[in-house]
Amino acid sequence: MTVKNGWLPVSAEEMRDRGWQEVDFIYITGDAYVDHPSFGPAIISRVLGKNGYRIGMIPQPDWKDEQSIQVFGRPRLGVLISGGNMDSMVNHYTVSRKHRSTDAYSPGGLMGKRPDYAVVVYGNLVRKVFKDIPVIVGGIEASLRRMGHYDYWSDKVKHSVLVDSQADLISYGMGERSIVEIADALNAGIPVSELTYIRGTVYKTKNPEIALMQRVLETSGDEKQAFYEDAVLTLPEYDQITSDKKAYAKSFLIQYQNTDPFTAKILVEKYHDHLYVVQNPPALPLSTEEMDAVYDLPYMREPHPMYDELGGIPAMQEIRFSLISNRGCFGSCSFCALTFQQGRIIQVRSHESLIKEAEILTKHPDFKGYIHDVGGPTANFRHTACKKQLTKGACGHRQCLFPKPCPNLDADHSDYIQLLRKLRSLPRVKKVFIRSGIRFDYLLADKSDAFLRELCKYHVSGQLKVAPEHVSDVVLQKMGKPEHHVFKTFCERYKNVNEQLGLKQYMVPYLMSSHPGTTMKEAVKLAEYVRDLGYMPEQVQDFYPTPSTLSTCMYYTGLDPRTMEPVYVPKNPHEKAMQRALIQYRDPKNRALIEEALRMAGREDLIGFGKECLIRPVKESRNETTSRLGYTRPAGSNLQNNNKRLSGKQTAEKSPKKKTIRNIHKKK
C-alpha cells in the first residue's frame, strides 16, 4: 500500500515517493503507528520533522527477524526506540502476572505484536544489525527504567535499561527538547559518546569525572570539588541496591527528590567493570507557546490506513475526540510515575490552541457532538501550584497537596472554567465531558464553588468518577492521598450542588486493594465503606508495582523511603485475593475468601444476619435465597431485596413477606 497525504513513510517505497534516498532516523516503536499527539512517537517524529529531519517509522517490527528493521536501510544519523505508550510488561501482564488477552495499541487489539521488555529487545536487535550506529531510547518504558530499578515481573533489581539495551542515550521525560538537541549534535558530526551535556538524558561512561567536567570549563582543584558537592550526587552502587534494601530505598529517595528541572542535580550510579550511568537534570518545562507549537504540528490524527482491514487501533476510540490541555502533576500520588515522567510543574496549552483542535474534531465524520475529555494527568490543574515554581521549581522536600494543601497553593479554577465555556459554545458541540481525574482536595481548596457547579451542570455524564483509593488514613498516608474526611466533605458538597441544580448524578469511587500499608484490618474497613455505599464495584484495582514509583519502592523494600520506617506489604497471592474479595463481598464466588478474611481480622461480628454484616453464616435456612448464595444483595434495589436485609432475629422464615414490607414502610 502506498500512502502519501502526510503520513511519515513506513516503507522504502513511501520513502522514495517523498523524494528521499535515505532517512535520518528510523523510529522503532512497540505500538502501532498512530499519528496522533496522544502517542509519544507521533510527537517526537513530528518535532524532528519540523526541525528538518527525515523520519522512517517501523512500528511493531518482528523482533525475531533482522530484516524487519532494515526497511529503510541504514539511517544517516541514528535509531530511535520506544516501547510504546505503556511499559511493555504492564501491557502484557495483569497484576497477578497472567497474560492479558488484548492489546489496545495493536491492530484489532491483537496481543503479541511486541516482545517482553521491548526496549531491551529492540535495542539489542538494532545493535546486532547496525553495529556502531547511535541508538537513543525513550518513552515511558525507558524513562521509568533509566536507573537501577525493581522489576516486579522478574522480582529482581534490574540494571538501567541503558545497560541492558546497549543503547547510547536515554531521552527521558516528554523529550521534545532533548531529542532536537541530540539530533542537531549528531548532524553536526559530534560523536554520540560526547553527548554528555544534554538535559533530560542519561548516558554511560567509564570515566564520569571527564564527562562531568565537560559541563564546567576550566575548573580545577577546589573549584572542581565544589562543583561535585554542588551539582553531583552519587547514588549507592548497583551491587549495593541489589543486596541491601535500605540502600535501594536510599537510592530511590535521592532520585525522587531530583526530578525538578530547576533544582535537580546530576546523578551517578556505578556498575561493575568501571561502568557508570549518569543522569542529567530534567529538561526545562515547555512554555505555553511551545506547547501550542507541539500540538499544532501536522498530525494525521488517525492510525495509519494499513490497519483499517485489521480492525483499527482500539486505543483510538477513547482519545479521538479528547483534548490534552496540560502536562505535569503536583498531586504526587505514591503509586503514580508522573513525578518521574512529566514532573510536578504544570505546562498548559492556550485556549486558542485547544479551540483550534476542537474545531478540527467537530469536522470529523464520526463526531456526534461530544468532546470526551479536556484534561491531562489531572484535569483541573491548569497552572502551577504556586508562582515560585515558575522560576525556582517545585519543593524537593515537601509536596503541594499532601498531607495538607501548602499555604502557598494557588487553588483557582477560573482559567479552566473559561476554557470549558468556550469549548461548549462551539458549533456542533453538544456536550463537553471531563473524564481525566479530578483532584478533589484541590477543588475544595478553591474558595469559590464556581467550578464544582459548572462541573455538575455541564460536564458529568450521570456519574462522576473520582479516586479516593481507600478510606483508611493509615493507607492513604502511604498513598500520598488526603485523609478520608476530605473525600467525605467533597461527597457532601457534590451531593448538595446536584440537589441545588435539580440533578440526579452519582459518584463512582476508584478503590485500590493491597497497597503497601494495607493490613486485613484496613481491607475490612474498606469493605464496610463499600457496604455503606450500597453498591458493589464492578472492577477493583489491585496495587500494581510498576517501575519507579514510591509505592513500588515500599513494595520491594518493606520500607517507606521518606522515613525509612517499616511498612506492612501484602504480597501473598492468597492474602491479596482476600483483600480484593472484601471489596466485592456481594459476589457469591467470593464468600469463602471473605469469611476467611473476616476471621483473620477478628471481625466475626460481620458474619451474621444484621444489616451491618457482610455475609451470612453457612448454616442458614435453605428456604432463603441469600443463604444459598452466601451474600446479601444491595439495599434498595427492590422490595424483595430489602426483605432480606433483616436483623438477626427477623429471619425471612419467621417474617412473612407482607409483614416485612409494612415494616420497611414504617422505617421509611
pLDDT of 119 strictly over 50: yes
Note the pLDDT tens digit of each residue in 5-50. 699 999 999 999 999 999 999 999 999 999 999 999 999 999 999 9
Mark whether 415 and 521 lie in a shared domain: no
| Phi, psi of 594, rounded to the nearest 5 degrees | -65, -45
Please give the pLDDT value at position 229. Answer: 62
The whole-angstrom separation of Cα 624 and Cα 660 is: 14
Note the pLDDT tens digit of each residue in 602-642. 999 999 999 999 999 986 434 444 433 333 333 333 333 33
How far from 50 is each of 11, 293, 469, CA to CA, in Å? 21, 10, 42
149 lies in some domain: yes
Mark whether 432 and 480 lie in a shared domain: no
Q: How far does CA 265 lie from the centroid of its chain?
A: 25
What separation, in Å, do the N-terminal and C-terminal C-alpha atoms of the chain show? 68
The whole-angstrom separation of Cα 156 and Cα 141 is: 17
DSSP label of 182: H
pLDDT of 217 strictly over 70: no
**Kind and range of the H or E run holding 522:** helix 520-533
The whole-angstrom separation of Cα 522 and Cα 468 is: 14
Amino acid at 484: H
The whole-angstrom separation of Cα 617 and Cα 631 is: 9
Mark whether 477 and 380 lie in a shared domain: no
- CATH code, domain carrying 61: 3.40.50.2300
- Contact (CB, 8 A) for 461 and 433: yes
Amino acid at 247: A
Q: How many percent of the chain have pLDDT more than 70?
A: 89
Mark whether 19 and 158 lie in a shared domain: yes
Per the structure, the complete domain to which residue 250 belongs is given by 12-279
pLDDT of 665 strictly over 60: no
Mark whether 571 and 626 lie in a shared domain: no
DSSP label of 606: G
Domain boundary among 439, 461, 483: 461
- Burial (CB < 10 A; 0-12, 13-18, 19+), residue 79, is buried
613 lies in some domain: yes
Nearest to 237 by CA among 205, 203, 268: 268
Amino acid at 527: A
Nearest to 510 by CA among 446, 436, 593: 436
Please give the pLDDT value at position 626. Answer: 40
The whole-angstrom separation of Cα 279 and Cα 160 is: 11
Domain boundary among 434, 461, 488: 461
Judged by DSSP in three states, 489 sits in: helix
Mark whether 576 and 630 lie in a shared domain: no
- Burial (CB < 10 A; 0-12, 13-18, 19+), residue 425, is exposed
What angle do the packed helices 520-533 and 591-600 form, to 10 degrees? Answer: 130
Please give the pLDDT value at position 274. Answer: 86
What angle do the packed helices 351-362 and 288-295 form, to 10 degrees? Answer: 20
DSSP label of 287: P
Note the pLDDT tens digit of each residue in 357-378. 999 999 999 999 999 999 999 9
**Beta strand segments in 20-114, E:** 25-29, 55-59, 78-82
Question: How many C-beta atoms lie closer than 10 Å to residue 7's C-beta?
Answer: 16
Which residues, 6+ apart, have CB-to-CB distance to 146 below 8 Å? 160, 161, 162, 170, 172, 202, 277, 279, 548
571 lies in some domain: yes
Mark whether 448 and 399 lie in a shared domain: yes
How far from 529 is each of 74, 305, 477, 532, 612, CA to CA, in Å? 60, 48, 18, 5, 11
Average of pLDDT values for 101-110? 97
Q: Look at the alpha carbons of 593, 598, 604, 605 in this order and tell me if their dihedral is positive or negative.
A: negative
Mark whether 20 and 80 lie in a shared domain: yes
- Contact (CB, 8 A) for 443 and 452: yes
Domain boundary among 461, 485, 501: 461
Mark whether 375 and 442 lie in a shared domain: yes
Please give the pLDDT value at position 633. Answer: 38
DSSP label of 540: -
435 lies in some domain: yes
Question: How many C-beta atoms lie closer than 10 Å to residue 320's C-beta?
Answer: 17
pLDDT of 382 strictly over 80: yes
The whole-angstrom separation of Cα 266 and Cα 278 is: 7
Helices (H), 219-335: 221-231, 238-243, 245-256, 288-295, 316-319
Greater pLDDT, 146 or 436: 146
Question: Read out DSSP for 386-438?
Answer: STTHHHH-S-SSS-SSSSS--TT-----HHHHHHHHHHHTSTT--EE---SPP
Which residues, 6+ apart, have CB-to-CB distance to 650 below 8 Å? 609, 660, 663
Note the pLDDT tens digit of each residue in 399-417. 999 999 999 999 999 999 9
Note the pLDDT tens digit of each residue in 519-570. 999 999 999 999 998 878 877 899 999 999 999 999 999 999 999 999 999 9
602 lies in some domain: no
Greater pLDDT, 576 or 397: 576
Amino acid at 582: L
- What cell numbers appear for 467 in the block? 479516586
Please give the pLDDT value at position 221. Answer: 53
Mark whether 139 and 46 lie in a shared domain: yes
Helices (H), 258-309: 288-295
Nearest to 175 by CA among 120, 233, 126, 136: 136
- What cell numbers appear for 477 in the block? 498516608
pLDDT of 648 strictly over 70: no
- CATH code, domain carrying 451: 3.30.750.210
- Burial (CB < 10 A; 0-12, 13-18, 19+), residue 491, is middle
Residue with cell 547514588: 235
Judged by DSSP in three states, 52 sits in: coil
Greater pLDDT, 211 or 656: 211
Please give the pLDDT value at position 32. Answer: 98
668 pLDDT band, cuts 50/70/90, is: very low
Please give the pLDDT value at position 641. Answer: 38
Mark whether 365 and 482 lie in a shared domain: no
pLDDT of 145 strictly over 70: yes
pLDDT mean across residues, the chain: 90
Mark whether 357 and 454 lie in a shared domain: yes
When mean pLDDT is compared across 5-19, 58-72, 103-117, 239-253, the lowest value belongs to 5-19
Split into its structural domains, the chain has a count of 4
Helices (H), 273-315: 288-295
288 lies in some domain: no
104 pLDDT band, cuts 50/70/90, is: very high
316 lies in some domain: no
- What cell numbers appear for 565 in the block? 520506617
99 lies in some domain: yes
